């Protein structure tokens, strides 16, 4: 399965690491990689989006519409990855992808 979180994202002081932030560590702006300061919401998911990298052309349409901002670009391939700690499984990305690259896999199958 593709879409593992890469090291770069993991090293940012996320809530998932249980780190408390000082005022100085708060960004000035409300734009950051997914889940910088929010609560993880992976448990909401009943379906998981999985990206077929052979089909994905890196257009980032999924990123523009993902309500959690948890789609990011794999620096090596230019294709997308999904941060599953913050993906709530809404399926918007799968619906929007014109390449049919994302399929929603049902849990508990």
Partner 1 sequence: MRTFISGNEALAHGIRLARPHVISAYPITPQTTVVEHLSSMCSAGKLTAEFVHVESEHSALSCAIGASATGARTFTATSSQGLLYMAECLHYAAGGRFPVVMMNANRSTALPWNIYGDQRDSMGLLDQGWIQLYVENAQEALDMSLVAYRVAEDSRVLTPFMINMDGFVLTHTYEVVDIPDQELADRFLPSYVTDNRFDFDSPKSMAFSVGPEQNFRFKFREHQAMNRAKKVIAEAEKSFAEVFGRQYTGLVENYRCDDAEYVIVTIGSVSGLVRSVVDELRRDGVAAGLLKIRYMRPFPDAEIAEILRGVKAVGVLEKDISFGYEGTVFTNVNSALQVAGLSVRTSNFIGGLGGADISREQIRDIFQSLESDGRRLNFLGINREEYDD
**Under the rule (CB under 6 A), what is the footprint of ligand SF4?**
49, 51, 56-62, 66, 68, 70-71, 80, 82, 87-93, 97, 99, 101-102
Minimum distance between the CB of residue 54 and partner 1, rounded to whole angstroms? Answer: 21
Strands 80-82 and 71-73: antiparallel
Judge residue 83's burial from the number of C-beta atoms within 10 Å of its C-beta, 0-12 exposed, 13-18 middle, 19 or more buried: buried
Contact residues toward partner 1 (CB under 8 A) are 21, 23, 26, 28-39, 60, 63-64, 68-73, 86
Closest CA to 43 of 96, 100, 89, 108: 89
Q: Which is nearer to ligand SF4, 36 or 51 (CB)?
A: 51
From the list ligand SF4, partner 1, none, pick the one residue 105 interacts with, judged by a Cβ distance below 5 to 8 Å according to partner type.
none
The residues with which 50 forms a beta bridge, in sequence order, are 103
């Amino acid at each position: 399965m593709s879409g593992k979180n890469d090291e770069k994202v993991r090293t940012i002081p996320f809530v998932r690491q249980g780190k408390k932030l000082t005022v100085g560590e708060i960004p000035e702006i409300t734009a950051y990689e997914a889940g910088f300061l929010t609560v993880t919401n992976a448990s909401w998911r009943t379906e998981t989006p999985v990206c077929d990298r052979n089909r994905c052309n890196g257009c980032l349409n999924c990123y523009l519409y993902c309500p959690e901002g948890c789609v990011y670009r794999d620096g090596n391939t230019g294709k997308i990855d999904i941060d599953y700690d913050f993906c709530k499984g809404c399926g918007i990305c799968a619906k929007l992808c014109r390449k049919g690259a994302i399929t929603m896999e049902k849990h508990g199958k």
